[in-house]
Structure 1
Amino acid sequence: MVLSRALTPPADPDTPEPAPPARERTPASRRLDRILPAVVLLAIAGFALLGIGSPLLGQSTFAATDEMVGSAPYSEVPEFASVRPTNNYLDDTWDSALPNTIVFADELREGHIAAWNPYSAGGVPLGATPNYALGSPLTLPFYALPGWFAPGIVKLLEIIVAVGGMYLFLRRLRIGAAPALLGGLVFASSAFMVVWTGWPQTRVAAFIPAVFWAVELIVQRARPRDAAVLALALAAMIFGGFPAVTGYTVATGAVYLVVRLLATHGRRWRRSLGGLALAAGGVAGGVVLTAVQLLPWVAFMSTAYVEGRGQEPDAHLSMASLVTVIAPWALGSTNPYGSVYWYLPVNLVESMSYLGAAALVLVVTAVAMARRGRAALPQGAWVFFVASTVVWLVLIYGGGFPLKVAQSLPYLFSDNFVGRARCVLGFLLAVLAALGLELLLRRRAASPAPAPSPAGKRRPWALAWVTLVCGAVAVAGVVALRDARHAAYLADRPTGGSLRTGEVTRELAVGIVLLLLALACAAALWWQGGRGGKLRLVAAVLLPLLVAGQALSFVVPYWPRSDKSTFYPVTDAHEYLREHLGPDRFAGMYEAMTRSAESALELRSATGHAFVDRRYGELIRSPSGGANFASTHVAVGGGLSAIASPTLDRMSVRYGVSSLAGPVPGTPRPAPTTTGLTTLAPDTPVTRPVPGTGPIRAVVLTPVETRRWEPTDRIEAVLLDETGRPVAQTDRRIGRTAANQPLYIPLAAEDVAAGARLSVRITVHAGQGLQLHAAGDGAAVGAVGTAQDGLKLAFVGTAAIFERTRALPRVRWAGTAVVEPDGARRLDLLRSGTLTGDQVVLEQRPTSAGGGSADVRITADGTDATEVSVTARGSGYLVLADPIQSGWTATVDGRPATLLKADHAFVAVAIPDGAHTVRFTYSSTAGRAGGWLSLAAALAVAGVLVAGAVRDRRRRALRSSGPGSLPSVS
C-alpha cells in the first residue's frame, strides 16, 4: 500500500510526485534537514566561485589567451615572453570560439546581426550557424559585457543552469532537496562539463537536465505547456551548437520517456500515446524554434569540406582512463611544463572521466540498494538509470560489437567520437549519486522500511545483487589500474625511469583515501539510521564537502585564468596588416596567425579554424595536393614553401605571415667553408660580412647544439651597409636551436641597392653564449637573397610579413573567361601560373562576349554584404574572390543577377558596358524560411504557455470561490 501510494500521480499537476510517507522524525533528523541543504548550497557556491576565481572579480580573464600569446607574433612581445600556460589543451577556444563570438558581439552592439564572418578562412557562416553557440541563452553575457570579462560569467551561468535543471528534475523524481542539489554539483563538476569549458559544448550539455525535467513533466502531467517547456529546453541545446550532445540527449531521453510512460500507464495505451505525441511535439517545436539557424546550417554543411570523421569500433576510450574517475591527474596534467604531461593516445579533453570519489560511492550505493532504489523513484526510473548507465559505459569504454552496431546507425555514432557521450553519462551518474545520498538519508528516518519478505526469501537475492555490483566495480577498477600502469610503463620506457608509474600510484592513493573517507561517511549514515546524533550529521555534511573539495582540485589547475593583457592584444605585425591589407587577405604560414584569432581584430585571413566550403578547401590545399589540411583547420597546402603559389594569387592573398623562427624563402647564399667553432658571448656585439651583395631577406647562422633557450633569451641582428649605417634590424627570440640546422634571422632589406656590400652586427642577449660553426676567425654567416618569386619581405617585427606582389585584388575585373568544367583540371590550371590577371576560370560557357575593361571600386564591405561600383568599357566579369557560391545572391543596379562559379571556389557576375552598382548579399532562401518558421514557433510556444497560465489562474479562482460558485451542469 505504501509503495502504491508513493507511485500515484499527484492530484495537483503543479507539484512534484510526493515522497513516500516518512516515519516520525527525531529532532536530530529535522536539524539535519535544515542544515544539509544549506551546506550543499555553500558547497556549490564554493565550487563555482573558487573554481572560476579571479575572472569573476575582473582581475583576469576566464579565457586561455595565455596559450595564444605563446605563438607568433605575440611570443615576440617581451612582456609575453615568460607567460607559461598551465593548460595547452584549450586551443579551439581562443582560436575559433572566442574570436567568432567577439565579431558577432561587436556587430550586434552596432545594431547588426552578422550572419557571415568574412575574416576567417576566406569567409564562413557566423550567425547563420549554431556552431558558435551565438543563439544560446548562456552566450548573452558576451553581448552586454566586455569580451575579456564575459567568459567567467558564462561559466557561472552554465553551473547555475546545470545545477538548477538537476534540482528541478530530481525533485520531480521525489528526491529530497539536499540530494537534488548534490546531484547538480556532481553533474556540473563531472568530466565533460569541466574539460570542454570554453567550447560551446558545455553550453549545450548544461541543458541536459532541463530536457529530462521537461520529459518527466510530460509523463506526470501530460499538458501542452510541458511540451512547450521541452521545446524551449531543446532549442537552448540546439542553439548551443555541437549537435552530437543534443543527439545523445534526445536518444537517451526518448528511451527514458518510453520506459516511464509504460511503467506509469501500463496498458492504458491512449495515455502513453498522448505522452509520446506531446514529446514529439516538443521535439518538433525545439527544432522549428531554431530553424533560423538550422536551415542555413544544413544548407552550408551540405557543401562543406568534411573529411576524416568516420568512426570505427576500436575508436573508444581506454579502460585506463577510468582511473581518472577518482584521480583526475593520475595519467598526467595539461601543463606541458609540469613533471608529467598527459600521455594516453587519446587526448585529455576526450579521455578525462572524472566523477569524484565521494560521488562514486553514492553511485554504487544507489545501484547496490536495488529494492530501496526502485521504491524511492517513480516506476521504471531506477531500472532506466542503471541500465542506461551500463549501456553507455560499454559503448564508451568497451567498444567492440555493441559500438559497431551503434555506428551502423546514421550520423550520431558513425560521425562522432563516442567518448563525447560522457556528457550524458555524467548526467546519469549524477542522478544515481543523488539517489544514493537520498537512500542513505532515508534509512529508517525518512522512508518506510521495505515490507518484510516471506521467510526471508529476498535477502539472498539482495546480498547476491550487492555482491555482483561491488564485484563489477572492483573488477573494472583492477582492469583500469592495470591498463593505466601499463600505459605509464610504456611512456616511461624510453627514459628508463618510473616518473609516470610513480605519479599513477601517488594520485590514485589520494583518490583511494578520499574513497575510503566517503565510504566511512556512507556507512555512518546507514548504520546510524534513525538514531540521529552528531556522527550522522558530520557524515552527511562531509559528503558534499568531499564532492566540492575534490572537484576544486580538478578544476583549479584546468580552468584558465589569464592576464587581461593577453586577451587579443595588437602587435606591430597586426598594425602593419591593418594599415596595408585593405580589402584583401593574408595567410598565416609558419607558426604565425594560422588560426582564426585575427578575426577578433577584423583582419581577413585565407587560413583559419572553421568548417569551410568544400571548393574553398580544395583550392587552398591544392598547392601541395592536400598536405597540412584538416576539415576544420584550414592551412595553405605545402606551408611556407607554397607561399609563392599562383593559387594564392587568385585567392587575393596579399601577404604571407611567418614567425621569425621560420625558414625564409629565397636564393640561398651559403656561408664560407667552416673551419671550427666559435661562441657568441652574451651582450658582446660581433660584426661579420654577409655573403654576396644586397638586397637580402635573411642572415643564417648554424648552431652546434640542440637546446631550448629561455623565453627571454634573444638574438639581435643589425644589417650595415658599406659605411656602417644600419639599413635593417631584427630582434627575435632564440627559442629552440637544433644542432647543425640553420638559425634564420629575417631582415627587411629588399630595398637595399643591388650590388651593395653588407655586414651584420650580431648580439646575443642571453644568460650564456651561443656556440656556432665558425669561418676564419668568427661566426660563419650565410644569407638568403631575393628571388624572382613574386615575394618581398616587407616587414620584420614580431613576425615576418611577405608581400605577395602578384596577388590579384579580392574584387577585380576580368575581361575574358576560360571555361574548364572538370574540377581536377581546373585546379591544375589555377596553380599553373599561365592565367593572366584579366582572365577568370568559369565552369560553363558564358552568354556574354567579354573583352572589355573596367574601373572597379568597393563602396561597402561589411560582414553580410559587399557593394561595388563598376564603370565598364565593354562587357566582362566582376570577380569576387570570396567562397560565396552557396547562400549568397547578387544584384546589378538593383536587379537580380546570376552568380557564376568562378576560379573554382569563388563567384563572378557578367557586367555589360556602362556604369553599374553590384551588390553581393548573404541572404539565402533557407535563412529567410528558417526565420519565419522560428518566429511562428516562438509565437506558438508563447501562446501555449500563456494559455496554460490563464487556465491555471481560472482554476485557482474557482477553487478559492468555493463549490457554490461552480457553474451549474443541469
Structure 2
Amino acid sequence: MGTERGTSLLDRRTRFALWVRRPGSWVEIAAWAALAAFVVWTIGPALIGHGTFLNTGLLGRYTPWGETFQSTTASTNILNSDTIDTVAPQNSLLTRLAHEGVFGAWNPYVAGGAELGGVPDSGAWSPLALPWWILPLAAAPGWVKLLEIVVVTVGMSLLLRRWGVPRAGWAIAALVYSSSGFMVAWSNWPQTRVAACIPLLFWAIDRAAVELRARDVIAVGVPLASMLLGGFPAIVGYALFIGGLYFLVRTIVAHRRWVPVLVSGAIAVGGILFGLLLSAWQLVPFAINATSLVDFSGRGQSGPNGLGTPPLVSAWVPDISFVQSTGPAWGIRNPVEEYSYLGIAAVVLVAAAVLIRPATHTVASLPDDATPAVRARHDLVRRRTRGVVAIVASMLALAVVIVYLGGPVLSAVRELPVFDTNPIGRARVVVMFLAAAMAGVGFGRLVQPENLRDELARFRAAGPLRRTGRIAAVAVVLFTAVGVGMQTLLAIPPIAEEYVHRTKLEILTVGILGAVTVVLVVLVWVFRSRVLATVAAVGVVALVVVPAVTATKPWWPIAPTSTFYPTTPAIDYLQEHVSAQDRYAATGSAMLPGSSSYYRIRETTGHAFQTGEWKDLMRAVDPDTYPTATYLTFEPNLMPSLARSGILDRLSTKYLVADPSAPLAGTAEAGAAQTKWSDLTADNPSVDSASNTGPVNGITFTGPPAPTLTPGGMTLDVAIVADDSGKTITSTSTRVPGLGGPRNVALQGSTIPRSTSWHVRITVTGQDKLVPIGTDDAGDAVMSIIRPVSGDGVRVVHTGDATIYERGAALDRVRWASDQVVERTGPARVRALADQSLPDSTVVLSAPSEHTADPDSSAEITLRGSDVNSTVAEVDATGSGWVVVADSLQRAGWTATVDGEPTDLVAADDAGAAVWVPAGEHTVELRYTVPGARTGYLLTGGSVVLAVLTCTVVTLLVRRRRRPGDDAARL
C-alpha cells in the first residue's frame, strides 16, 4: 500500500511538471491570477482588517457624523446610502440579537416598527450573508463580497466545464461577471447576494435539461432556495425567465424527442418546487407581508422604452453617463440602476465565442463494438455541448433587446409577473451573466482555437446549411461591431458640456484597448505559434483585469474602520434620553433615517416598508414626504409646524433632530438691516451683536455674500454672553466646510430669564481667507432672533454636531386613555389626531367597541423589560379604560393578552392599537409572531425530511441492486 501511495504521489508530481511545461498552462495561471488580483486590489484591505468594505465613509456627508469625520477623506461613492441606512443596520440588529439569544422577528426602532427576521428583506438569511453572523460587523461586508465572488467562480466553473470550455475560460467568466456593472453598483445590497447564485442556478438548469437524472431536482432547488432567501425576489424572477427560455431550447436541441424533453421538464419543475419549499419558512411570511403591506405602485416598468443607449454603452465606456460613482451624472436615472460595465475586452471575447470554433469541437466517433454504457456516455457528452454557443448568444441578444432597446418585445414582457413591479434596468443582471459566460467561452476558444486556415478548409467542404450558419455568425459579429460604434456615437450628445472632452478621451482609450484586443485575438486565430498564442492570451487577460480594477475601485471605497457607525455627542444624547416610551424624528438627512436600527433608538421616521395607516399620518404631518415608497423623513423647512404637530405628539415623538444649519423652531424677530461687513480673520476672529434680552432658540446671522470655503473646513462658535458679567450663558460650536449667506444657529437659550440682557458673539477660526459677517452701521453683527413659543413645550436641548429639540407635549408610547371617540374613516381619524384640542386622555377608535372607558379613571403604567418582539406593561388602574400603544400595529402578527389571557387588539389612533383593561392591577402584553411562519416551517421541514428519506432509500436500493461482480470488474 505504501508503494502504491508513493507511485500515486510520483504520478501527480509528474503530471504537474508536464502540465507546467505546456504553453497553455501559463495562460491558465494568468487567468486565475487575474481573478485573484482583482480581489486583492479591490477588497483586499477590507479582508485583512485595514478598513471596511461597507461605505461608512459616506456618513461624513450627513448630520451628526460630519463633525466627527472632519479629517476623513471623502468617499468616492455617494450613490449607495441605502446600504448604510437600512441594509447594514438591519443585518447588524438581527445578528446581534441572535448573539443575545433573541430571534428578532420585529424591529421596533424604525418608522414605528417593521418586520425584521421573519421575512427575507434584509438578505441576512442568504448563505452568502454568513459573515454577518460570525465575524465582527465591520469585517462582514468584505467577506460577504468575497463569498459572492467565490460562489460566482464555482458556478461559472461548473457551468463552463459542462460546456467543454478550458479552465482558463472559467476564471475569465468569473472575473467579468464579478466586475460587471450590476455586481459592482449593487454591492452591499441583497441584490448581489442573489445574483451571485445565478451561475449555479444555470448550471443546475443545464443539468436538468441534459442529464435526465432525478437528483437534479436537488441541484436546481438548492441554488434557487439560496436566491429566494437572499432578499430580492425580482432577481430570481429575471433569472428564472431567461433560465426557463434557455432550458426549453436547450432540452429540445439536446434530445430532439418529446419523451426526454418532458422528463427534463418534470425534473426542472420539481427542482423549482423543491427550492420554493426549502425557502418556504421565509417565503410564506414574505407573501403575506407583500400582499398586505408592500406598495408596488410606481415600481414597475412603464412604456416600451428600455434603458436606452448610454447605459448600453457603459458596458464598454463605463463613464458615458456619469463620472464613476462620485456624483456628477447626466443620465435620466440613478447610475446604480443603469451601470452595465463589462469591458471592451469582454465584448471582443463575446464576438470570439461566436466566430472561433474550438480545436476539439467534435467528439471522436465510436467503434462498432462499443458497449451500450460507452455509447450512452458518448451521447451524453455530445448533448452537453450541442448548440450551447448559439443558444446562449440568442438569449443574450434577446436580453439586450428587452433591457436596453425596448420596443414591442419589452411591451409584452413587462406585463409578466416580476417585470410588472420592477424597473427593467434591474433585469440587466441577466445580460451581465450571459455576456460573462460568453466571454469565458470566447477566452476558452482563444486558448484552444481551431486555426483559421483549418476553419476555411472546413468551410469549403461544408454543405449549404453549415456555410449559411457560418456566414450568419460572421454577419452577426460585424453587425454588432457596427452597432457598438454607432451606439457610442449616439451616447455623446447627452453628455454634459464640461465632461465632453474627458469622455471623448475615455472613448478613444477604450477604442485603442478594443483594437489591441482584436489584434491579439486574430493573431491567435491565424498563426499556429504556441509562444505567440500564449503571449497574446496573457495580453488579453491583462486587458480584461486592469480596466476592471480601474472601473471598480471608485465604486468600492474601503472606509476606515473608525467610520463604522461611530457614536457622536448627538447620538449619545439620544441614546441616553430616548426611552422605551419615546421616539425621535429626523428632518432632511439628519441621522440618516434608518440608522436607528444600528444604534437601537426608537424612531418615527426611517427607511422600511410601512403600513398605509402610518403613511397617512406621516403625509398629514408633511405632505411631501416619501421621496420613495419606503424612505420617510421630514422637510427641514417645516420645523416650526413639526414642533407643534398633534400627530407627532400622539406618536410619542419627543425629539426632533436637524442639521445645525436647518431652519429653527420658534417665532422670528427681525433684526437691524445689514449695511456693512466685518471681515473675520485669524487675528480678528470675532464680532459681537447688539444687546438683547430674554429666552432664545437660536439666531440667523448674515454670512459672506458668496460662499467662502476652506480646505479642511472651519469652526463656527456662537455664544450668548451676559452683558453685565461677561460670562457665557450658552454656546455652540460646529465644524463647517465654509459659510455663505444666511446661517441658522440653534442655541440652548429657552430658559434665559426675560430680564437678562445679553449679546451674541460670532467667532470663526481655521479659515484661510477673509470671512465677512454682516453688520449694521455701528459694527454690530445683524441677526434675526428665534424666540420660543410660549406654552408649546419645545426647547433646544443639544447643539453642535446636530440640533435636537425636545417636544414637551409628546405623549407616552404606551399610555392610559379614559375616554374614547370613534371615527370610521381614515381621513376622519387623521383629522382628529391632528387636532390639538383632542384631550390627551382620549383614544380614537376605528370602530365602535362594546367597552366604554371610565372618564374618571386613571392608571399608572410601568413598562417591563422585554425583547424586541413584545411590549409588556404593568397597569394599576383606578377604573376601566384603554391601554393605547402608539406603534405601527395595523398588520398581521400582533396579538395581545391581559394577565396571560388572550384579548382583542383594537385598532386605535389610526396606526396603533389599544387593549381594554378593567380596574385593578394587570399585566398587558402585546407580542409579534411572524404570520405564516408555522406553515412555512412545516413546508420547509417536510421537504428536507422527504429529500433526505428519498436520497437514503435510493442509495440503499442502488447498493442492493449492484451485482456482486461489479466491484471486481472495476478493479
Q: Same fold (TM over 0.5)?
A: yes
2:400 is aligned with what amino acid? L
Q: Is the 8 A contact 1:81 1:712 kept in 2?
A: no
| Higher deviation after alignment, 904-913 or 943-952 | 943-952
Evaluate the alpha carbon distance shift between residue 708 and residue 684 of structure 1 in structure 2; reply closer, same or farther with a 3 A threshold.
closer
| Counterpart AA for 1:227 | V
The residue correspondences of 1:6-405 to structure 2 (distance < 5 A) are: 31-77=22-68, 79-267=69-257, 269-304=258-293, 306=295, 307-313=297-303, 316-334=306-324, 336=326, 341-369=328-356, 378-405=385-412
- Partner SS, residue 877 of structure 1: strand
Partner of residue 552 from structure 2, selected from 532, 543, 555? 555
Q: Give the residue type in structure 2 aligned to 1:695.
A: P
Deviation at 1:59, TM superposition (A): 1.0
Q: Structure 1 stretch 848-857 or stretch 678-687: which is displaced more?
A: 678-687
Q: Say which SS state the counterpart of residue 136 (structure 2) adopts.
A: coil
Question: 1:128 deviation in Å?
Answer: 1.2
Q: Is the 8 A contact 1:116 1:864 kept in 2?
A: yes
Deviations along 1:812-853, one digit per CA (max 9) or x if unpaired, are 111111100111111111112121111111111111121232
Per-residue CA deviations over 1:460-488 (Å, capped at 9, x if unaligned) read 63564244223322332233222321011
Aligned counterpart in structure 2 of residue 860 of structure 1, from 842, 865, 871: 865
Equivalent residue, structure 1, for 2:446: 440
Q: Alpha-carbon deviations, 1:921-946, whole Å to 9, x = none? A: 11144122212222222333344455
Contact 2:356 2:525 in 1 (8 A): no
Distance 2:688 2:626 in 1: 38
**Mapping of 1:429-578 within 5 angstroms?**
429-444=435-450, 457=464, 461=468, 464-488=471-495, 491-492=496-497, 499-528=498-527, 531-578=528-575
Give 1:284 deviation, angstroms.
Answer: 1.3
Deviation at 1:954, TM superposition (A): 6.6
CA contact (8 A) 2:688 2:761 kept: yes
Residue 82 (structure 1) shift: 4.7
Q: Secondary structure at the match of 1:224?
A: coil
Size of the aligned set, in residue pairs, is 921
User: In 2, distance between residues paired with 1:810 and 1:423?
Assistant: 44
Give the counterpart letter for 2:575 in structure 1: R
Amino acid at match of 2:98: L
- Please give the root-mean-square deviation of Cα atoms over the aligned residues, in Å: 2.6
Determine whether 1:603 maps to 2:610.
no
Q: What are the within-5 Å matches in structure 2 for residues 562-711 of structure 1?
A: 562-583=559-580, 584-636=582-634, 639-644=638-643, 645-682=645-682, 684-689=684-689, 692-707=692-707, 709-710=709-710, 711=712
The answer to whether the 8 A contact 1:691-1:783 is kept is no
TM-score, length basis structure 2: 0.90
Matched, 1:926 2:927: no
CA contact (8 A) 1:330 1:504 kept: yes
Counterpart position of 1:10: none
Change (3 A) 1:713 1:954: farther
Structure 2 counterpart of 1:801:
804
Matches of 2:519 and 2:839 in 1, distance apart?
Answer: 80
CA deviation digits over 1:68-113, x for unaligned, max 9?
1221101122x43553111101111111111111101111111222
Bigger drift between 878-887 and 447-456 goes to 447-456
In 1, are the aligned partners of 2:24 and 2:534 still within 8 Å (CA)?
no
Letter in 2 for 1:595: P
For the Cα contact (< 8 Å) 1:224–1:944, is it kept in 2?
no
Distance 1:682 1:891, change over 3 A: same
From the superposition, tell whether residues 262 and 897 of structure 1 become closer, same or farther in structure 2 (CA, over 3 Å): same
Q: 1:885 aligns with which of 884, 890, 897?
A: 890
Q: Indicate how the Cα distance of structure 1 residues 933 and 447 shifts in structure 2: closer, same or farther if over 3 A, else same.
A: farther
Q: Write the distance in 1 (CA, Å) between the matches of 2:453 and 2:894.
A: 64
> Secondary structure of the residue that 1:630 maps to in structure 2?
coil
Structure 1: any 5+ residue segments left out of the alignment? 1-26, 493-498, 966-970
Q: Which is further off, 767-776 or 882-891?
A: 767-776
**Corresponding residue SS for 2:661:** coil
The 1:882/1:470 distance shift into structure 2, 3 A limit, reads same
User: Does structure 2 retain, via aligned residues, the 8 Å contact 1:314–1:399?
Assistant: yes
1:889-908 alignment runs, 5 A limit: 889-908=895-914
Letter in 2 for 1:350: E
**Residue identity matched to 1:603:** I
Secondary structure at 1:557 match in 2 = coil
Match of 1:654, SS state, is strand
Q: Would you say 1:813 and 2:816 are equivalent positions?
A: yes
Distance 2:691 2:603 in 1: 36
Q: CA deviation at 1:507?
A: 1.0
Q: CA deviation at 1:544?
A: 2.2
- Is the 1:373–1:382 contact (alpha carbons within 8 Å) kept by the matching residues of 2? no
Task: Using structure 1 for the length normalisation, give the TM-score.
Answer: 0.91
| DSSP 3-state at the match of 1:487 | coil
Give the letter aligned to residue 31 of structure 1: R
Return the offset for 1:331: 3.7
Mapped to 2, the partners of 1:691 and 1:935 lie a distance apart of 75
**CA distance, structure 2, for counterparts of residue 652 and residue 691 of structure 1:** 38
Contact residue 85 and residue 335 of structure 1 kept, 8 A: no
Summarize the Cα distance change of 1:915–1:698 in structure 2 as closer, same or farther, 3 Å threshold.
Answer: same
Q: Whole-Å Cα distance in 2 between the matches of residues 612 and 959 of structure 1?
A: 67
For residue 663 of structure 2, what is the amino acid of its counterpart? Answer: P
Which of 417, 422, 426 pairs up with 1:420? 426
Q: How far apart are residue 894 of structure 1 and its match?
A: 1.3
Q: Give 2:7's aligned residue.
A: none
Q: Deviations over 1:510-552 (max 9, x none)?
A: 2122212211221122112xx3421111112222232122211
Superposed CA deviations along residues 209-237 of structure 1, whole A, max 9, x for unmatched, are 11111112222332332111211100110
* Cα distance in 2 between the residues matched to 1:465 and 1:329: 33
Structure 2 Cα separation of the partners of residues 546 and 635 of structure 1: 45
Shift of 1:865: 1.4
Give the distance between the partners of 2:304 and 2:108, measured in 1 at CA.
Answer: 39
Q: Which moved more, 1:62-71 or 1:361-370?
A: 361-370
Q: Deviations over 1:743-764 (max 9, x none)?
A: 1111111121123211112111
Quick check: 746-755 or 371-380, which moved more?
371-380
Aligned equivalents of 1:367 and 1:569: distance in 2? 52
Structure 1 residue 701: deviation in Å?
0.7
Question: In the alignment, does 2:739 pair up with 1:733?
Answer: no
Does the 8 A contact of 1:331 with 1:503 survive in 2? no
Which whole-Å CA distance do the structure 1 matches of 2:494 and 2:858 have between them? Answer: 67
With over 3 angstroms needed to count, the CA separation of the structure-2 counterparts of 1:951 and 1:184, relative to structure 1, is farther
Which stretches in structure 2 are left out of the alignment for 5+ residues? 1-17, 363-381
Check whether the contact 1:890–1:896 (CA below 8 A) recurs between aligned residues. Answer: yes
Q: Percent identity?
A: 32
Amino acid at match of 1:70: R
Q: 1:370 to 1:342 in 2, by over 3 A?
A: farther
**CA distance 1:29–1:758, change in 2 (3 Å):** closer
Alpha-carbon distance, 1:195 to partner: 1.1
- Name the CA distance, whole Å, in 2 between partners of 1:790 and 1:944: 69
**1:906 Cα deviation from its structure 2 partner:** 0.9
**Residue 11 (structure 2) aligns with:** none
Contact 1:590 1:639 in 2 (8 A): no
Give the conservation status (yes or no) of the 8 Å contact 2:678–2:772.
yes
